[in-house]
Amino acid sequence: FLPIYNPKYVKMYDNHQLGKLEPHIYAVADVAYHAMLQRKKNQCIVISGESGSGKTQSTNFLIHHLTALSQKGFA
């Protein structure tokens, strides 16, 4: 994997406004997570693409980031 999926990036994209940093799956996860907390409404993220485009891997990274964000409050 590229070195853009590590704890450094989890922290970097935590609670940053969309568009302030380079596009990243962590940014999408972060916006959805914080919108859920602030608005107290469920959020939905749609990942689409052709076969072999990395949808499953993107979903794994997204879930990893959501897990890291949710555990932060319980540390």
| Residues tagged in the binding site annotation | 49-56
CB 69 within 8 A of CB 29: yes
State both tokens at 3.
């070195």
State both tokens at 19.
């568009």
**Coarse DSSP helix, strand, coil percentages of the chain, rounded to the nearest 5 percent:** 50, 0, 50
CB 55 within 8 A of CB 49: yes
Instruction: Enumerate the known binding-site residues for ATP.
Output: 49-56
